[in-house]
Structure 1
């Protein structure tokens, strides 16, 4: 028999979690005014100071905003869905990186900041996916992706050295159309990818890069991209703020 379990979080954390879910799932829409502190305190059977602490958490997450003399209003909206398959195909001749072109379709402004390009000892999961030996090296290209100037995704993308050497991938500069376009031009077009998505506690690097509020988890996607003959050509760790974005996968029945 399973042992009884109770929520160990403080009262204000529980209230914040309930309101956060109502905001991110669309039950509380942007511009909606919340009930007064007294009304919320009565609803949740807590002190007014507890409600204030909960609201302060959500203000730091940019989900709520206070207007002096008027009240507290919903600022953020539902989580934005990201469809990974939209970014798989290489960009067309002369076309921008798909992160930018897909953002334009949603009337958003996409941008990329290149943080690092280096040959590194690949992490365990990367070595396993690329078939590298222990301490095997790979090319790392690290970037932060933005939507409307808001940091959206921190990416660590690793490539086999034999595919990257002698190309612009080794240089610390952006690549027209992105690395999928360059690899396709070299005869290694992306044919399929496999994603493993997990919810994790963020590292310090992720908190800073994504401007995360305190105690906010992240979505981490381990993506392996394959070319012809099932050759792995890229392994990426893609980290997103869990309260802002959700993953949308479309599966077609065989």
Structure 2
């Protein structure tokens, strides 16, 4: 017997969800114009004008739609984009840009990284277990915000065993020349493999503020552990991404 369940959301939330899905899946591509308010009212079963306006306002707040005075409402460019995590793992060569910036440039965007802080901490249990740290053993935490076209899109919290990186640039409150993959490689710990665990979660206050999230927007959280030779864990990172701006793309060989 099929269970009966009704969508408890308000009408404008249902309309926003339907439009959002049509945009993220490409049925309403970037630059396309939405129908008039009257057309949307009819399309969604004769709902009220205010219901349509509330739905559109939700998507404008998320940065998915934009209203152009006298012209209508349009889907914004880069409403949601796919990124391949492996593209950001390679060490940077001499004179090369950080992968975050170079990958953004390929999409005709501007990438920027802001370092928020560096501190020595006792990490959360999940991180300590991933890094195989003893109880109470400390790690270095580096916190950063990643921007695309000046929009905050990712908050990263990267942990490194203090015993591994003590006395190195990892503890300095400045960008690391070549990035941490290059630094760890020069220390004899080149990144060889990473494992991601993805989850959709309700954001914390820190994440809402850092990513300037609209109300009721979930986040995509990737917990990544990086391993060097012999399966030694050298980094554990929590990457919180604005779910309405991101999708993840993985390319895996089947042979």
TM exceeding 0.5: yes
Please show how residues 215-254 of structure 1 align to structure 2 within 5 Å. Answer: 215-254=216-255
- Where do 4+ consecutive residues of structure 1 move more than 6 Å? none
Please show how residues 1-254 of structure 1 align to structure 2 within 5 Å. Answer: 3-45=3-45, 46-254=47-255
CA offset at residue 78 of structure 1?
A: 4.7
Contact kept? 1:15, 1:54, Cα under 8 Å: yes
Contact kept? 1:82, 1:246, Cα under 8 Å: yes
47-56 or 219-228: bigger deviation:
47-56
178-187 or 61-70: bigger deviation:
61-70
CA offset at residue 94 of structure 1?
A: 4.0
Contact kept? 1:84, 1:247, Cα under 8 Å: yes
Contact kept? 1:29, 1:77, Cα under 8 Å: no
Q: Which secondary structure state, in structure 2, belongs to the residue aligned with residue 17 of structure 1?
A: helix
1:195-241 deviations in whole A, cap 9, x for unaligned?
00111111111111111111111110000000000000000000111
CA distance in 1, matches of 2:42, 2:97: 53
CA distance in 2, matches of 1:168, 1:94: 19
CA distance in 2, matches of 1:71, 1:186: 56
How many residue pairs get matched? 254
- Alignment root-mean-square deviation, CA: 1.5
209-218 or 183-192: bigger deviation:
209-218
CA distance in 1, matches of 2:207, 2:171: 24
1:132-175 deviations in whole A, cap 9, x for unaligned?
13333110000011122221210000001111101011111111
CA distance in 1, matches of 2:193, 2:244: 28
Unmatched 5+ stretches in structure 2: none
Instruction: Report the CA distance shift for 1:107/1:67 in structure 2 as closer, same or farther (over 3 A).
Output: closer
CA offset at residue 2 of structure 1?
A: 5.7
102-111 or 124-133: bigger deviation:
102-111
Contact kept? 2:156, 2:237, Cα under 8 Å: yes
Instruction: Report the CA distance shift for 1:70/1:106 in structure 2 as closer, same or farther (over 3 A).
Output: closer
1:104-135 deviations in whole A, cap 9, x for unaligned?
33332221100010001101110110111333
CA distance in 2, matches of 1:93, 1:39: 56
The alignment's TM-score, normalised by the length of structure 2, stands at: 0.94
CA offset at residue 30 of structure 1?
A: 2.5
